[in-house]
């Protein structure tokens, strides 16, 4: 049947308007973040149990000889024995640690404060390294590395913001201007993300073009006359949202309206990021990237903490409808 | 192996269109496409080089088959016999013949629809389809042959069931 031989051409025209676009990619990333979180939650009790057993065994192995030493008359406890047992190894050990950030296209779970509902707080930010998260500082504005994507599309590359002038593991102590990083090597070019200058930046980390989101750092959030919109993105760029523990809004029109509500009503609280957040707001953008805000009672935070009860009311309504 | 973004850019539209061709429902097709790529992202399977698309389509067709077998879904969500084309917005030229052909392929019983889509739409050979579907090559050949006959019947106004 010759007509069947033309099926690729026929379908290319007949379905030419059906394309896997950035909106779908954003939804996939949201769903993957959720799926990975669930998988990790299932493993958490096992890992905690294993860790507890390991600690108990280690304590028994170290503690038994020490107790024997203590019971000997005239013998001082061996401080060095205790001091040399660095449980968990050096947190700055490097490659193994960074593998966590490198490997994940999906989100991970952080149980804020230990007692939080681990399933309701998802973290798309790359984890901390020796007290500092992997970041870029561009003329005083800090950007934190996201775990996804691991290699941003070149088509999203914006203008060059310059080259990393200083690589340091203590960026807060840096006194120089320019671009400072604890993850992007000195001399590497740092780029704006197209259409998102001020909210996101990109730089090469181990060969992959990683994306960084604007955040507070070392007591600094907004610069000059910046607003929340300057550190996030315009409402028109949003295609879907997930407020963990509440629900997903994947209707782009509703998501845009919600973002506009947030931008219009949020009031600035402080440069610090609370620490008591138990939920997260994941924002899927039309360019396929994801952003994250940490969520408190009525607050959102990433670059500063902002109060916006109107947003949460509108979100709850949108999910209920 | 190409990274996730490369695989999405290269193959997601094909996966989505095959799913739509199979199911005839845009939302369901997007759901399946999403499932496939979430699985790729979360499980990060070790895919044989050059066979990434085959893996994606195999997973997609398995998911489509599951959906189609669900009687409620088939009756309520996918029950419409109409297959709507989704041409590009700037493509205003309408072809009744093309529409009839696509509607007829969609109307084939699923066993035939799958092999016709893989062979004629996605240009996979019989041996590759057999590998994807875990079926003997003879079965695939037979289904293709019978599928063509059924398609002819549908295009002539008959019922292929």
Query: pLDDT value at position B13?
Result: 96
Give the count of alpha carbons within 13 A of B11, CB side only: 24
Least confident stretch, A16-25, A85-94, A191-200: A85-94
Whether a cis peptide bond, with omega within 30° of 0, leads into B28 is: no
- DSSP H/E element including A318: helix A309-320
Cβ–Cβ under 8 Å, residues A198 and A230: yes
* β-bridge partners, A304: A302
The mean pLDDT value for A164-173 works out to 87
Q: Which two tokens stand for residue B106?
A: 């969609």
pLDDT tens-digit profile of B11-29?
999 999 999 999 888 888 9
Please, which residues have CB within 8 angstroms of residue A52's CB and are 6 or more apart in sequence? none
Pick from A3, A17, A36: CB nearest B87: A17
Q: Is the pLDDT of residue A243 over 50?
A: yes
**Shortest Cα–Cα distance, B105 to chain A (Å):** 9
Query: pLDDT value at position B58?
Result: 94
> What secondary structure does DSSP assign to chain B, as a single string?
---HHHHHHHHHHHHHHHHHHHH--HHHHHHHHHHHHHHHHHH---PPTT-HHHHHHHHHHHHHHHHHH-HHIIIIIS----------TT-----HHHHHHHHHHHHS-HHHHHHHIIIIIS---HHHHHHHHT--HHHHHHHHHHHHHHHHHHHTT----
Residue A239's nearest CA partner among A299, A278, A291 is A291
Q: Is the pLDDT of residue B59 over 70?
A: yes
Q: Is the pLDDT of residue A84 over 60?
A: no
Query: pLDDT value at position A88?
Result: 28
Least confident stretch, A23-32, A43-52, A146-155, B152-161: A43-52
Cβ–Cβ under 8 Å, residues A142 and A183: no
Query: Which of the residues B20, B34, B46 would you substitute to probe the A interface, choosing the one with the greatest number of A C-beta atoms within 10 Å?
Result: B34
Q: Is the pLDDT of residue A163 over 90?
A: yes
The mean pLDDT value for A40-65 works out to 58
Pick from B5, B17, B99: CB nearest A151: B5
Chain A touched by B32 (CB under 8 Å): no
What is the rounded average pLDDT for all residues in chain A? 75
Contact A31 B116 (CB under 8 A): no
What is the rounded average pLDDT for all residues in chain B? 86
The mean pLDDT value for A147-167 works out to 90
Query: pLDDT value at position A91?
Result: 29
Query: pLDDT value at position A175?
Result: 72
CB neighbour class for B53 (10 Å; exposed up to 12, middle 13-18, buried from 19): middle
| End-to-end Cα spacing for chain A | 49
**Shortest Cα–Cα distance, A8 to chain B (Å):** 5
Q: Is the pLDDT of residue B78 over 70?
A: no
pLDDT tens-digit profile of A172-190?
887 767 899 999 999 999 9
Query: pLDDT value at position B48?
Result: 84
Stated pTM of the model: 0.52
CATH code of B87-161, in short, is 1.10.10.10
Residues of A with CB under 8 A from a CB of B: 1, 3-5, 7-8, 10-11, 13-20, 24-25, 27-29, 31-32, 35-36, 39, 105-106, 149-153
- DSSP H/E element including A154: none
Contact A32 B5 (CB under 8 A): no
Query: pLDDT value at position B73?
Result: 54
The mean pLDDT value for B30-47 works out to 89
The mean pLDDT value for A125-132 works out to 79
Q: Is the pLDDT of residue A114 over 60?
A: no
Query: pLDDT value at position B134?
Result: 87
Q: Cα(A183)–Cα(A206) distance, rounded to whole angstroms?
A: 9
Residue A38's nearest CA partner among A108, A115, A114, A126 is A108
Q: Cα(A280)–Cα(A278) distance, rounded to whole angstroms?
A: 7
The mean pLDDT value for A89-101 works out to 29
> Can you tell me the ipTM of this complex?
0.90
Longest dimension (CA), chain A: 99
Query: pLDDT value at position A71?
Result: 40
Q: Cα(A183)–Cα(A203) distance, rounded to whole angstroms?
A: 9
Query: Which of the residues B33, B37, B44, B146 would you substitute to probe the A interface, choosing the one with the greatest number of A C-beta atoms within 10 Å?
Result: B37
Contact B5 A152 (CB under 8 A): yes
Domain with CATH 1.10.10.10 in chain B: 87-161
Cβ–Cβ under 8 Å, residues B129 and B118: yes
Tell me which of A222 and A51 has the higher pLDDT: A222
Query: Which of the residues A20, A24, A30 would you substitute to probe the B interface, choosing the one with the greatest number of B C-beta atoms within 10 Å?
Result: A20
Pairing of strands A179-181, A157-167: parallel
Residue A284: Cβ within 10 Å count: 29
- DSSP H/E element including A63: helix A22-71
- DSSP H/E element including A147: none
* Cα distances (Å, whole numbers) of residue A122 to A118, A185, A206, A315: 8, 28, 25, 18
């Amino acid at each position: 049947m010759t007509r069947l031989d033309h099926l690729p051409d026929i379908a290319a025209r007949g379905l030419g308007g059906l394309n896997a676009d950035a909106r779908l990619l954003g939804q996939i990333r949201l769903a993957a973040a959720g799926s990975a979180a669930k998988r990790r939650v299932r493993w958490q009790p096992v890992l905690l149990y294993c860790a507890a057993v390991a600690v108990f065994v280690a304590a028994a192995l170290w503690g038994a000889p020490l107790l024997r030493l203590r019971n000997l008359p005239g013998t001082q406890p061996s401080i060095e024995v205790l001091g040399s047992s660095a449980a968990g190894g050096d947190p700055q050990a490097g490659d193994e640690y960074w593998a966590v950030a490198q490997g994940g296209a999906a989100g991970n779970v952080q149980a804020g404060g230990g007692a939080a509902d681990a399933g309701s707080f998802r973290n798309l930010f790359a984890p901390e390294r020796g007290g500092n998260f992997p970041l870029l500082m561009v003329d005083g504005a800090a950007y934190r590395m996201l775990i996804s994507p691991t290699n941003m599309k070149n088509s999203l590359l914006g203008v060059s913001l310059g080259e990393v002038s200083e690589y340091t593991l203590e960026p807060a102590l840096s006194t120089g201007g320019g671009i400072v990083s604890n993850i992007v090597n000195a001399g590497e070019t740092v780029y704006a993300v197209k259409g998102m200058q001020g909210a996101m930046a990109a730089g090469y980390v181990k060969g992959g073009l990683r994306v960084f989101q604007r955040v507070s750092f070392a007591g600094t959030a907004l610069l000059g006359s910046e607003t929340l919109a300057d550190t996030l993105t315009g409402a028109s760029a949003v295609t879907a949202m997930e407020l963990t523990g509440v629900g997903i809004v994947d209707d782009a029109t509703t998501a845009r309206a919600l973002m506009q509500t947030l931008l219009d009503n949020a009031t600035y609280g402080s440069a610090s990021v609370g620490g008591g957040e138990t939920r997260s707001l994941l924002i899927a953008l039309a360019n396929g990237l994801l952003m994250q805000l940490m969520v408190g009672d009525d607050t959102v935070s990433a670059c500063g903490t902002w109060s916006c009860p109107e947003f949460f009311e509108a979100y709850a309504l949108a999910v209920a409808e | 192996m190409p990274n996730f973004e490369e695989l999405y850019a290269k193959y997601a539209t094909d996966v989505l269109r095959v799913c739509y061709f199979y199911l005839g429902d845009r939302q369901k097709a997007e759901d399946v496409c999403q499932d496939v790529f979430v699985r790729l992202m979360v499980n990060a399977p070790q895919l044989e080089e050059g066979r990434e698309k085959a893996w994606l389509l195999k997973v997609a067709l398995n998911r489509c088959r599951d959906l189609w077998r669900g009687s409620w879904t088939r009756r309520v969500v996918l029950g419409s016999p109409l297959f709507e084309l989704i041409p590009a917005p700037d493509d205003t030229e309408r072809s009744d013949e093309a529409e009839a052909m696509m509607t007829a392929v969609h109307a084939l019983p699923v066993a035939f629809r799958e092999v016709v889509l893989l062979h004629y739409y996605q240009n996979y050979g019989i041996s590759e389809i057999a590998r994807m579907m875990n079926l003997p090559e003879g079965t695939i050949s037979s289904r293709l042959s019978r599928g063509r006959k059924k398609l002819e019947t549908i295009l002539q106004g008959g019922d292929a069931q």
